[in-house]
Chains A and B, each alone.
Chain A
Amino acid sequence: MIGLEVVYLLMGLMTAGIALENFRDRAAPRHLANAVFWGLYAISFLVGTHLPDLANGILVLGMVLVVSVRGLGRSSTELTTAEARVESARLLGNRLFIPALAIPLLTVLGTLTLKSATLGGRPLVDAKQVTVISLGLSTLVAFLLGLWLLRPPASAPMREARRLMDSVGWAAVLPQMLAALGAVFALSGVGQVVATLAQRWLPLGTPLSAVIAYTVGMAVFTAIMGNAFAAFPVMTAGIGLPLVVHQFGGNVVAVAAIGMLSGYCGTLMTPMAANFNIVPAALLELPSENAVIRVQIPTGVILLVANTALMYFVAFR
């Protein structure tokens, strides 16, 4: 059965390659810091499953230490000239799009078909992880397709991967770190404390104020946690159900659905939702990590107001 370990092995090999490229590139600034950072990350992918929790914890703190003390370097020199790329684009034409589009298309195809696929009576892939595995396998297929189509020199894939990873830098690891922070928050009961505080201190005497407390609470708590999924159980059990639904008689389906979407308005406006907001800023080489958030704030605010009004007008009919 193909499980996550296969995909982690690919990630491990790639990050190890990036570490090695950095190690050998003496001309690049802080190349050793980069090598240690990506090397530790490679260890996490290759053997993290078999290490004790404490070792994994120390490994993460090691990565944090490298970033905090030295900072990561960046070898942003282009590996090819603009003229060469224009000429290559002219020769290859639209064939260049094939591997790029193959990744999303094959991922969707894999998600739809692999779940029920069997080999000799046993499931082919781990059904619980089918999207992630499809993405990993599709990327591998697209990679082979790219090698066949473009015939690059053997050193090119790793050097290009390293160039892009350098431009993303530590932001590449932030979403995973935030997920781990969310787990520690849940373990320590942060959500319950927030719900208790909200109930005690917010004025919740009318349907309108209860609706506002729920929608704005969802957005704010999502912004803090970086994830509407973490905020939803807390805010719904703390404010949505006891007040908006039970006390004031709101329609539970509308309240819950619009409540979740109010959380998404918070996601648009927070650096804590790193994979949506900070990672693209790094990927697109924007000078400010908050550049994407700044574009999204007006939409987030308008939609939060609109969701609040919508809930108020439809839930109590």
Chain B
Amino acid sequence: MLTLIGIGVVVIGFLLRVNPLLVVAVAALATGVASGRDLIDVIAAFGHAFTESRYIAIIWLVLPVIGLLERAGLKERARSVIAAMRGATTGRLILVYLALRQLTSALGLTSLGGHAQMVRPLIAPMAEAAAEMRYGTLSPRTRWRIRAHAAAADNVGVFFGEDIFIAIGSILLIKGVLDQNGIHVEPAQLALWAIPTAVMAFVVHGTRILMLDRWLARHATETETVATDETGAR
């Protein structure tokens, strides 16, 4: 029971809005010590696991590239491309991205997307531009909502697309866990059972994205419009 102390630390830490890095470190040390290990050993184990997980941070290598492109006007260009498209709305644009993200993930191409590579430099500015085209200057609250939706579409698309691809990590993990328990299944069968949920995810989240257009029609320009300048630069 005492080993669960880390979960308690995490829940309370996040609720009290303590810095998450501190929360995670304390949770890890508390869990290790509660399970009967020496503090020094736990620190070493934590350091080992942290070092072994460095590959997770590789995505930040894109920052110099994105920075250079933004400096040269990438977001501004993305906006003018959208401004030239008649019929483009924020909701439709994000919906198309959701569909593409889900389809390409289902083909195993999960790296064709992502928050740092696609959402920040391209999708979010385009989605904002589509709203600006219709409603003029947007309130900060509206901008934030549009951006959050752009990020959410990326997540929903990849989560509920990738499992249709048979060689993806999660399908292989399911197969591995079942193998360990003496049950042998084909990856293709597992992938097949991911399709109904994928369809439901597209319908549910797609509907919500289209509802964003209706929300924008009501709220896009209300109140605190003075906070941004005319180009939308922050």
Contacts and interface: CB of A to CB of B under 8 A. Distances in A.
Interface size class of B (residues with CB under 8 A): 35 or more
A1 interface: no
Contact of A180 (B14, B28, B34, B196): B28
Given A104-B112, A180-B46, A187-B32, 4 more contacts: A170-B19, A178-B24, A257-B194, A292-B155
Contact of B148 (A11, A292, A303): A292
Nearest to A188: B35
A135 B59 contact: yes
B16 interface: no
Interface in A286-304: 286-287, 291-292, 294-296, 298-299, 302-303
A262 to B, nearest CB: 9
A184 B58 CA distance: 22
Interface of B: 1, 3-4, 6-7, 10-11, 14, 19-22, 24-25, 27-28, 31-32, 34-35, 37, 40, 42-78, 80-81, 109, 111-122, 124, 144-145, 147-152, 154-156, 159-160, 163, 169-170, 173-174, 177-178, 181, 183, 185, 189-194, 196-197, 200-201, 204-205, 208, 229, 231, 233-234
B54 A268 contact: no
A25 interface: no
Contacts of A54: 40, 43-44, 47
A181 B27 contact: yes
A131 interface: yes
A257 B34 CA distance: 34
A104 B7 contact: no
Contacts of B53: 176, 179-180, 183
A103 B104 CA distance: 15
A264 interface: yes
Contacts of A67: 19, 21-22
Contacts of A78: 233-234
B4 A261 contact: no
A165 B149 CA distance: 22
A226 to B, nearest CB: 9
Kindly list the 7 A-B residue pairs having the minimum CB-CB distance in the complex, ordered from nearest: A160-B67, A57-B47, A89-B73, A56-B47, A183-B49, A257-B193, A188-B35
Contact of B49 (A79, A96, A184): A184
Interface in A214-260: 224, 228-229, 232-233, 236-237, 241, 252-254, 256-258, 260
Contact of A89 (B14, B47, B63, B80): B80
A257 B46 CA distance: 32
A253 B116 CA distance: 35
Contacts of B70: 85, 160
Contact of B115 (A53, A193, A194, A280): A280
B1 to A, nearest CB: 7
Contact of A306 (B80, B148, B200): B200
A283 B115 contact: yes
A49 B177 CA distance: 30
24 contacts: A49-B51, A51-B51, A56-B44, A57-B43, A67-B21, A82-B229, A100-B66, A100-B121, A111-B111, A135-B58, A150-B69, A160-B64, A174-B21, A183-B53, A187-B32, A188-B32, A224-B10, A232-B177, A257-B174, A260-B174, A261-B159, A272-B14, A283-B119, A302-B204
